[in-house]
Structure 1
Amino acid sequence: MSPLEIDLVRGAQAGSASALGTLLARHQAGMRAVALSILGHGPDAEDAVQDAVLIALRRIGTLRDPAAAAPWLRAIVRNACRMRLRAARGLVPVADPEPPAGPATPDRVLEDHVSRDWVWHAIDRLSPALRQVVLLRHFSDVTSYEQIAAACELPVGTVRSRLNQARAKLAEALLATADEAYDDAAARNAASAREATDTLAAARRGEFAAVVADTWSPGLHMTSGQGYRGGVEMAVRGMDADLGSGVRQKFVHAVTSRDCTVWEMEMISPAHDPHHCPPAVVWLMSHPAGRVERLRLFFPVVSAGRTAGSSAG
């Protein structure tokens, strides 16, 4: 690797979004060549490269040897391709390659923190439609094209197209944000997690309607897990019906951007009716003006023999 590229790696790890975008652009052709050699020509090869770009964005802080950026990027692409091949064969994919973790020094913690915020700031510059599918694909357990299509009520082809557009725009967005301040993405997600937990606790106290009135738009558009459509009254009625039936939701994970939030919940059926509801529900919320305007509840998995009997879920 040339001294210039080593400087780009070091700049990226030190907080330069421009250096990171330039580094990825310089290696994009080599990354694509690896994907083509494994998957052949077609959309899967391009998707694998774009998946690898997102992995590199999140993990540039873990690259211990700046001179090894080229083989590191190619290894990420190879693994992304193999994951696609394994998925097509119904096998469990292996984890992405990652250099051995070094000591948790303040410098490394800072690098990882800034790298994470680069990604989130770039995601926030995407359109709401693109941002929503990115959050589901890369930051939740709703990861397959089919699941995302069901959650967003879109054709699978539209999901693929939006992910392709989003991935292509992320590097461009990074280049445009080199000198801007970044929100603390970790703090923002942690705040959303607290809000989800507090919302469930309030619902168990019979205060769900008050929470909805405080934080959701009165003109809310909601789609229930069974496909019913309504507004605030349906949301409150559904939650109350679930609690009255003995159903409980347990918070699992939250991820949020400027105007889109995903809450993942475990659903616990009552002891007397263990198959009352599916095992999990995802709350997919849009809040372009701060208050939740759209809520879509989605069951990632409905196991054989279960019924979607939960009103809210």
Structure 2
Amino acid sequence: MGHEPRISPTDAELVIAAQAGDSGCLGLLLERHRGRLHAAALRVLGYGPEAEDAVHDTFLIALRHIGDLKEPQAVVGWLHMVLHRCCLRQLRRRRGEVLVAEVPDRPDEGANIEERLEKAALREWIWDAVRKLPEPLRVAAMLRYFGSYQSYEELAAILAVPIGTVRSRLSEAKRKLAEILLETAGLIDSDARLQSHEHQRFYFEMFDRLNRHGERDRFLGHFAENLHLVRGAGMPTVGRSHLAYEIDSDTEAGVRLEPRRVLSAGRITVIEGAFLNPPEDPFHCPPGVALVVFHQHGVAQHLHLHLSSRPPSLEDD
């Protein structure tokens, strides 16, 4: 008996399914157009790793913003527009120009709850891939693609490494992340996702107890006695007492640190917060702070602390 020929879904159908949370369809869509996107990048950038980087950048942007595309049938043109902007960024990087992220069709400020839930499904797929990166690449990707302090200079300050190291780590992270995403389309590690959510809830509760109930010792008890505290380019300090001094000084001055975003993947947690200064001393602490915590066996062993002149931005949450 003959079989009906199998009809492949159109690009628009794949987009609609992806916007409804089907990450497998998004993976199929991106894989379908990988060859043509790479050929287009080669025409602009020539042969070399920059063309492949531009394609990976395009994939990452598509993964985060496919839900913002208003006309699914226009996805091919949209992908090529994203690629073109990524290629221009590569050309600017060659000339040493300051780079600013550009993403077409930004999300609607009035997005309803259904749209937010659909985007959350894709975000979980991305986070599952991020968790599979080696730690140095993972923390760089977490800060660059999901945090508020994303410039190479800020990442270098937060991680206390040279800018060149930041560049190389992000380049490698993009390559690995794009491949992992396509390999694991639709396969999300629910245990790892649950662990990440538990870490997020834990830190929000910890800061709430510290700020509202003064549970200082309980807060400090989460950190190892021989905690390695890194602040900018200065020499790391060893000992939980240094963190205790920071907390006590802020408390005495009437300053509170309010967490605004908590990102967690594996044993790495990024906390972005805003300092709330007292009215009589409004400039005691800078507006923003980023903390990168490295855990081991449920205890924070390393802490990177970065002060910022601006509070965290939460537009993409």
| Residue identity matched to 2:167 | R
1:116 to 101, 109, 123: 123
> How far did 1:118 drift?
0.8
1:167 alignment counterpart? 174
Deviates more, 1:58-67 or 1:40-49: 40-49
User: Quick check: 121-130 or 73-82, which moved more?
Assistant: 73-82
Structure 1 partner of 2:75:
69
Secondary structure of the 1:154 match is coil
Task: Check whether the contact 1:10–1:66 (CA below 8 A) recurs between aligned residues.
Answer: yes
1:68 partner letter: A
Residue 161 of structure 1: how far off its partner (Å): 1.5
Pair 1:146-2:178 in alignment: no
SS at 1:126 equivalent: coil
Displacement of 1:58 after TM fit? 1.9
Q: Deviations over 1:42-86 (max 9, x none)?
A: 766554433221111123344455543321211222334456778
Give the drift of 1:283. 0.7
1:282 corresponds, among 266, 275, 290, to 290
Equivalent residue, structure 2, for 1:135: 142
Measured in 1, the distance between the counterparts of 2:97 and 2:186 equals 44
CA distance in structure 1 between the partners assigned to 2:25 and 2:281 by the alignment: 56
Check if 1:229 corresponds to 2:233: no
- Give the secondary-structure state (helix, strand or coil) at the position aligned to 1:52: helix
Q: Per-residue deviation at 1:114?
A: 2.1
Counterpart position of 1:310? none
Amino acid aligned to 1:28: R
Q: How big is each residue's C-alpha offset from its partner over 1:16-49, in whole Å with a ceiling of 9 and x where there is no partner? A: 5454334323323433444455566676655443
Q: Distance in 2 between matches of 1:85 and 1:248?
A: 43
Q: Which letter does structure 2 place at the counterpart of 1:230?
A: V
Cα distance change of structure 1 residues 173 and 120 upon mapping to structure 2, 3 Å threshold: same
Could you say what the CA RMSD is over the residues aligned between the two structures, in angstroms? 3.8
Paired letter, 1:157 = G
Q: 1:58 aligns with which of 60, 64, 85?
A: 64
1:1-313 to 2 correspondences below 5 Å: 3-4=8-9, 6=11, 9=15, 12-13=18-19, 17-35=23-41, 46-63=52-69, 66-81=72-87, 95-98=103-106, 104=112, 111-178=118-185, 180-183=187-190, 188=196, 192=200, 195-196=203-204, 198-199=206-207, 201-203=209-211, 205-213=213-221, 215-224=222-231, 227-301=235-309
Q: Is the CA contact (8 Å cut-off) linking 1:15 and 1:115 kept in structure 2?
A: yes
Deviation for aligned residue 1:295: 0.8
Pairwise CA distance, 1:286: 1.4
TM-score, normalization: structure 1? 0.76
1: CA distance, partners of 2:134 / 2:171:
13
Q: Cα–Cα, structure 1 residues 209 and 259, in superposed 2: closer, same or farther, change >3 Å?
A: same
**8 Å contact from structure 2 (residues 294, 300) kept in 1:** yes
Provide the rounded CA distance (Å) in 2 between the counterparts of 1:84 and 1:252: 32
Contact 1:124–1:131 (8 Å) recurs in 2: yes
C-alpha spacing 1:9/1:271, structure 2 compared with 1 (3 Å): closer
- Deviation of 1:104 after TM superposition, in Å, equals 5.0
Residues 116-125 or 47-56, more deviating = 47-56
Distance in 2 (alpha carbons) for counterparts of 1:67 and 1:186: 35
Partner of 2:313: none
Q: Give 1:262 shift.
A: 1.1
Deviation at 1:269, TM superposition (A): 4.3
TM superposition shift of 1:175 = 3.9
C-alpha separation in 2, matches of 1:300 and 1:100: 28
Give me the TM-score of the superposition, normalised by structure 2: 0.75
Structure 1: stretches of 5+ with no match in the other structure: 303-313
Residues 125-157 of structure 1, C-alpha deviations (whole Å, 9 max, x = no match) = 111111100010011111111211121122222
